[in-house]
Structure formats: C-alpha cells, structure tokens
Chains A and B, each alone.
Chain A
Amino acid sequence: AQKITQTQPGMFVQEKEAVTLDCTYDTSDQSYGLFWYKQPSSGEMIFLIYQGSYDEQNATEGRYSLNFQKARKSANLVISASQLGDSAMYFCAMREGLQGGKLIFGQGTELSVKP
C-alpha cells in the first residue's frame, strides 16, 4: 500500500531565505505521481507542483522546486526566497499510476516565515 511521510510537523524560515520541506514515500508501483499542496489558514487547497515517476528533470514552478530522488523515495519541496505569505500548511501527496486516481496525503508540515 502506498504511504507518504512528512517528518517535520513545523518549520521556521527567515523571510527571503530558502527552505526545504521533506517528504518520503513508499509504493510498489513503478508509475506514480507526487504532488505538493499549500493550505493557508483559510483552508483552501492550493496545488503547487507535480513530479511524475518517469520525469528525469526535477519539477519547477516559479519559486517552488521539487528535489526528486527516486532511489531514496524522496520528493522534497524547496521554496526559494520565502515570503510572509508562504506561511501555511504544506502537504505532500502521491497517486499510484500516472493517469487518474486517488491522492493520499502525508501528515503535513506547518511552515512559518519570520520577518
């Protein structure tokens, strides 16, 4: 069965610095997708970035990049130049298969950006 683990319940980062949020996963499938979502205090779920298991390049979306290490089964999110508005819960999620399917979420990391 698939499993997602986020071992950092809370993280602090200084404004304008970079931060890495950890995510490890476990699956027996060769084909899978990895996602990161942001959930601010308002509760909405905001899609940040996606990495497919066969993608050779690390995904990037603006200030977000995904450090994908397939052999280690890790998919860490890197946020560069942190902003105060980045303070939120961040969830790593996985879907088995590359097409449609359910998302399973990790426990989440609460990021606080300090001015």
Chain B
Amino acid sequence: SAVISQKPSRDICQRGTSLTIQCQVDSQVTMMFWYRQQPGQSLTLIATANQGSEATYESGFVIDKFPISRPNLTFSTLTVSNMSPEDSSIYLCSAQSDSVTNGYTFGSGTRLTVV
C-alpha cells in the first residue's frame, strides 16, 4: 500500500503568519484529502485535492484560508494562512492506497501550535 511522507511533523507559529504542509506519496494516487483534527476530536475533512483542478472544499473551509496545491499525482501541499490560535490542530493528509482493500493511507500528521 502507498506510503505518505508528511512534513513538518510539528511547528510553533506566530499568529498572522502562514505555514505550508507537504505530503509526498510513494505512488501515484488520483485523489488526496486534507483533514484537521482538533485536540481530542475526530477528523474533519478540509478539502479534496485532485491533480490538475482546483481543490473541492467542505462547508466551513475556504480557499483563501487553506489554499491547496496538487501539481502532480504524488504530491500535495496545504497552506494554513493568516493563522490564529484557533488553527492549532493536527493536520493530516490522506490518499486511497489500495483499490482492492479500499483502505486509505494517512500521513503521520503535522501538529501545529499558533501562539
């Protein structure tokens, strides 16, 4: 199954700044997904990233705040813009890894703290 390398693993950022999170997949995948997991909570989908087209955002998430790039079938970035302490969360990327088992693989997550 696919393996995703996500970085950075953690960061502490000043409010008002931006952070870009990168995910590299070791095989080509059609769709990649970005999630936010607030402390003690479940995973909330931010957006679906398709190669060659704009990302599709879920309700409550907007492109200006969370711009996403998907330049090829193995790579995607999520930027958290103009950060506030409320953006402190774990951010995870995901991709469907195996069409037989239908499992999705996840990156190891980025733990973001905004001060």
Contacts and interface: CB of A to CB of B under 8 A. Distances in A.
A50 B30 CA distance: 20
Nearest to A44: B108
Interface in B84-115: 90, 92, 94, 96, 99, 101-106, 108-109, 111
B92 A100 contact: no
Interface of A is mostly: loop
Nearest to B30: A100
Contact of B103 (A47, A102, A105, A108): A47
Contact of A102 (B48, B92, B99, B108): B48
A104 interface: yes
Contact of B45 (A35, A45, A99, A104): A104
B33 A102 contact: yes
A35 B103 contact: yes
A108 B48 contact: no
Contact of B102 (A52, A91, A107, A108): A52
Contact of B94 (A33, A103, A108): A103
B42 A91 contact: yes
B104 A35 contact: yes
Contact of A43 (B31, B90, B99): B90
Given A103-B33, A104-B45, A43 B104 contact: no
Nearest to A108: B42
Interface of A: 33, 35, 43-45, 47, 50, 52, 91, 95, 99-108
